[in-house]
Amino acid sequence: MKIRKQCALVALEDVKAYITEECGQIAVFDATNTTRERRDLILNFAKENAYKVFFVESVCDDPEVIAANILEVKVSSPDYPEINREYVMDDFLKRIECYKVTYQPLDPDNYDQDLSFIKVINVGQRFLVNRVRDYIQSKIVYYLMNIHVQPRTIYLCRHGESDFNLVGKIGGDSGLSPHGKQFAQALKKFIAEQGIVDLKVWTSQLKRTIQTAESLGVPYEQWKILNEIDAGVCEEMTYEEIETQYPDEFALRDQEKYLYRYPGGESYQDLVQRLEAVIMELERQGSVLVISHQAVMRCLLAYFLDKSADELPYLKCPLHTIFKLTPVAYGCKVETITLNVEAVNTHRDKPSGSTNSLPKSQTPVRMRRNSFTPLASPDTIKRTRNYSVGSRPLNPLGSLLFPEVRDGADQQKLQLQMGSACLEPANNITCESLVSVSATK
């Protein structure tokens, strides 16, 4: 027990180092904090460092759920490398019996009535929530009440090749090319061969995803928040045209693609925040096919595959390729299926040494730029999300280069992570403590 306590103290020092030295905002202290003494240790540590604490207690007393959980989760745990399943079951049941001897559950009526926590009972059959005090804690509760552990498969793909893809234009609302229509038929055949029961199909509200889904001959739902990233004044332009007309903007985007926001449009960070509702709904659902766009698909893949903000904008999501995701313990299995329909390559690799091409007025630091048309400005230019074919956005102020501003939240790595209680950066320093009890996930 002395060694375990010492390990806990060392881990708490890691928490402190992460928050104070690495600019972290939320830390998950994952341990079997099953006694009041151990939880008091955490609370005292948090008080000394002015951190907030939110406990997550997972309680399971259903023998069938425990047995299924051990076989599904613990067999692949790092605690049991290459050990037969029978031994794992026997050993973990003994471990549970040991915890029962000292286990002191959180008491919402007396001893722990002033603590902030959630009890997850029998893997989501019931919940008990106590004293949720801020936004981040409410988001943790929201997340935990929406996830489930039932077997399911998520299929992600882009729309079929579009007319704008053929000419290298970004954004817009063009229809499918002949090869794109061919992919839609191939996708219909693939889905039929899978024999998926109660498969849901989601699309954006843009023409190219709707046309792809129409070919499937099944009901589908349109989500506006699945629309492609808004390229602002650069909508319906090629990268060559952007580099020629807005060289400063082109260089800035290459410097920090995740945080860069198109003038009048969105950044990848904006898109991640926009997609939160879709991600939560994916966690709630069974099997789903999401037909979306390159930037949107990158964000969804980054969430399920635990990719960083630096990796996210450069994930390869080729046209006419399906990503089959199967959530499992400690991660997500991914299978890539190419339907062998010809398509153009829309991927743009990360430039090497891009900071050397920055405008002289810019410094190579991580910043998120403001749009040139802030909502509070009396000069805000209003326009529709997509331009009609042949139209070109105006450049109202000549140069699109504006002073950058620091945003503390922008220093953070993508916070949407599989199985984590962290959904987004907090506005103030927060330490979250995770309490795991019994054999639940």
d(CA 313, CA 299): 8
Question: Kind of pairing, strands 26-31 and 430-436?
Answer: parallel
Give the residue carrying structure tokens 């082109």: 250
Tell me, yes or no, if 349 is annotated catalytic: no
Q: Give catalytic status of residue 86 as yes or no.
A: no
Among candidates 285, 296, 286, which has minimal Cα distance to 224?
296
Q: Distance of CA 213 to CAs 158, 201, 203, Å?
A: 11, 8, 7
C-alpha–C-alpha distance, residues 77 and 93, integer Å: 15
228 belongs to the catalytic site: yes
SS (H, E, C) 294-327: HHHHHHHHHHHHCCCCCCHHHCCCCCCEEEEEEE
Q: Is 159 a catalytic residue?
A: yes
Tokens of 83: 């050990």
Q: Name the token pair of 111.
A: 């001893």
How far apart (Å, rounded) are the C-alpha atoms in residues 144 and 142?
A: 6
Would you call 240 exposed, middle or buried from its count of C-beta atoms within 10 A (0-12, 13-18, 19+)?
exposed
- DSSP H or E run through 221: strand 221-222
Pairing of strands 154-158, 321-328: antiparallel
- Marked catalytic residue, from 161, 173, 228, 230: 228
Contact 387, 393 (CB under 8 A): yes
Q: Which of 60, 234, 299, 422 is catalytic?
A: 60
- Residue in 57, 112, 159, 179 annotated catalytic: 159
Helix (H) or strand (E) holding 174: none
Distance, in Å, from the CA atom of 237 to the CA atom of 257, rounded to the nearest integer, reads 17
Give bridge partners of residue 116 from the DSSP assignment. none
Q: Which residues are known catalytic residues?
A: 30, 60, 159, 228
